[in-house]
């Protein structure tokens, strides 16, 4: 006794066959079923709280109204906001979301791919892992081979074959440097990563190019690198500490891994008596809610997370339904100037 109400139950209650019930409930009656029967069936279905079994429907060729989503970590506001956009756009179109955290791990992403394959999701949205290896594309290929459309979001290469949703990370970093420059900064350091991630490389290149174009000098000592993928671990403190020991090297730091790391630095510096932005300026990336709360409020590059999520879902739905969509959706970023960057020009 599983309690689920099936077509048969309704058929039995209505004294008709299951196929008639199916016809009625799917509205596929060109005035072929008597009005009385229709009413009775609808009524019973309502009373019994009938919900079609989408698994059985899928067996008959209908796509499952479920899509898979992998993000590194749902606990991070950046991804949860994005996820909400995805879910909302999905709900509008009747799609539900199976959510998985990859923990920035190839294995996590592999597990997600397997789950998606098993579930026979209608499509998948992937915010990829950092861990290097060609295997990531292998996983995506697997989904593709199985006929599951994939849309990548945030973490993707500017040029690649998968449909993807992103901002122009290169240009955003470029503009960030220009912003710092406009505020009078000349010695601009960067917290970069060792991650094998297109968007991080793009941001770093944007930084390099901007520095070059502005005739500013870069030395290796101004480039700090985050190795671990966790933005709030001891390594964050180490980097913050390292920077604080060389305050003369730079007046401003661009934290390209994102706001969470920038915030971690600010917190660390505060604890150690280093003033932001007087002793050091810092600029983040992503525009996370916390950045507007912390003191000083964080200057950052806003990514329209929610909208990007929505866009990704809409793109995916197009792909699922066989309509062609864009190969690349580029959203506008926006530099939000707050108080974590000192205006050197003004103060002199």
Query: Does residue 11 interact with its own copies by CB under 8 A?
Result: no
d(CA 299, CA 176): 10
For the residues of 263-296, what is the DSSP string, one character each?
HHHHHHHHHTT--TTTT-EEE-SB--HHHHHSSS
Query: Does residue 18 interact with its own copies by CB under 8 A?
Result: no
Q: Are β-strands 300-302 and 334-336 bridged in parallel, bridged antiparallel, or unpaired? A: antiparallel
The DSSP symbol for 240 reads H
Scan for tokens 């899509």, then name that residue.
67
Give SS3 for 65: coil
* Cβ-based nearer residue to its own copies, 77 or 331: 77
* Among 12, 52, 74, 230, contact with DNA (rule: CB under 7 A): 52
Query: Does residue 115 interact with its own copies by CB under 8 A?
Result: yes
Query: Does residue 126 interact with its own copies by CB under 8 A?
Result: no
d(CA 143, CA 146): 5
If contact means CB under 5 to 8 A according to the sort of partner, which of its own copies, DNA, none does residue 323 touch?
none
Using CB under 8 A as the binding rule, the residues of this chain from 242 to 301 that contact its own copies are 263, 267, 289-290, 293-295
* Among 22, 73, 228, 339, contact with its own copies (rule: CB under 8 A): 73
In Å, what is the CA distance from 170 to each residue of 82, 101, 202, 236?
A: 21, 27, 5, 23
Using CB under 7 A as the binding rule, the residues of this chain from 60 to 99 that contact DNA are 60-62
Query: Does residue 218 interact with DNA by CB under 7 A?
Result: no
Query: Does residue 53 interact with DNA by CB under 7 A?
Result: yes
The least CB distance from residue 142 to its own copies, in Å, is 5
Using CB under 7 A as the binding rule, the residues of this chain from 21 to 50 that contact DNA are 22-23, 25-26, 28-29, 31-34, 36-38
Q: Write a three-state SS string for 116-143.
A: HHHHCCCEEEECCCCCCCCHHHHHHHHH
d(CA 119, CA 54): 11
Query: Does residue 317 interact with DNA by CB under 7 A?
Result: no
Beta carbons within 8 Å of 182's beta carbon, 6+ residues apart = 345
Asked if 329 contacts 311 with a C-beta cutoff of 8 angstroms, the reply is: yes
Preceding peptide of 27 cis, ω within 30°: no
If contact means CB under 5 to 8 A according to the sort of partner, which of its own copies, DNA, none does residue 19 touch?
DNA
* Cβ-based nearer residue to its own copies, 23 or 66: 66
Measuring CA to CA, which residue among 303, 313, 302, 306 is closest to residue 163? 313
* Among 35, 49, 134, 159, contact with its own copies (rule: CB under 8 A): 49
Q: Which residue ranges make up the site for its own copies (CB under 8 A)?
A: 1-5, 49, 51-56, 58-59, 64, 66, 73-75, 77, 80-81, 83-84, 87-88, 91, 96-101, 111, 114-115, 117-120, 142, 145-148, 263, 267, 289-290, 293-295
Q: Which residue ranges make up the site for DNA (CB under 7 A)?
A: 2, 4, 6-8, 15-20, 22-23, 25-26, 28-29, 31-34, 36-38, 52-53, 56-57, 59-62
């Amino acid at each position: 006794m599983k309690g689920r109400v099936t077509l048969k139950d309704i058929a039995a209650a209505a004294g008709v066959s299951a196929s008639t019930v199916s016809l009625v409930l799917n509205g596929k009656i060109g005035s072929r079923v008597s009005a009385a029967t229709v009413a009775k069936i609808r009524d019973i279905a309502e009373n019994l709280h009938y919900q079609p079994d989408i698994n059985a429907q899928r067996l008959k060729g209908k796509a499952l109204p479920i899509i898979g989503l992998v993000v590194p970590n749902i606990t991070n506001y950046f991804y949860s906001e994005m996820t909400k956009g995805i879910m909302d756009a999905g709900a509008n179109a009747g799609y539900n979301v199976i959510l998985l955290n990859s923990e920035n791990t190839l294995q996590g992403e592999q597990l997600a791919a397997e789950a998606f394959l098993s579930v026979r999701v209608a499509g998948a949205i992937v915010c990829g892992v950092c861990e290097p290896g060609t295997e990531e594309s292998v996983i995506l290929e697997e989904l593709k081979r199985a006929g599951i459309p994939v849309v990548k979001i945030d973490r993707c290469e500017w040029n690649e074959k998968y449909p993807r949703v992103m901002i122009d990370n290169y240009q955003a970093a470029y503009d960030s440097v220009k912003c710092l420059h406009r505020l009078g900064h000349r010695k601009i350091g960067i917290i970069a990563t060792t991650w094998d991630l297109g968007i991080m490389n793009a941001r770093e290149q944007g930084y390099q190019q901007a520095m070059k174009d502005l005739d500013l000098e870069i030395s290796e000592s101004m480039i700090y690198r985050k190795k671990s993928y966790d933005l709030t671990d001891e390594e964050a403190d180490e980097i913050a500490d390292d920077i604080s020991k060389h305050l003369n090297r730079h007046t401003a730091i661009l934290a390209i891994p994102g706001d969470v790391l920038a915030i971690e630095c600010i917190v660390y510096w505060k604890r150690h008596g280093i003033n932001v932005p007087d002793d050091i300026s810092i600029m983040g990336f992503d525009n996370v809610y916390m950045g507007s709360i912390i003191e000083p409020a964080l200057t950052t590059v806003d990514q329209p997370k929610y909208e990007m999520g929505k866009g990704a879902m809409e793109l995916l739905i197009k792909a699922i339904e066989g309509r062609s969509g864009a190969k690349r959706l580029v959203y506008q970023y926006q530099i939000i100037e707050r108080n974590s960057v000192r205006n050197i020009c003004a103060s002199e």
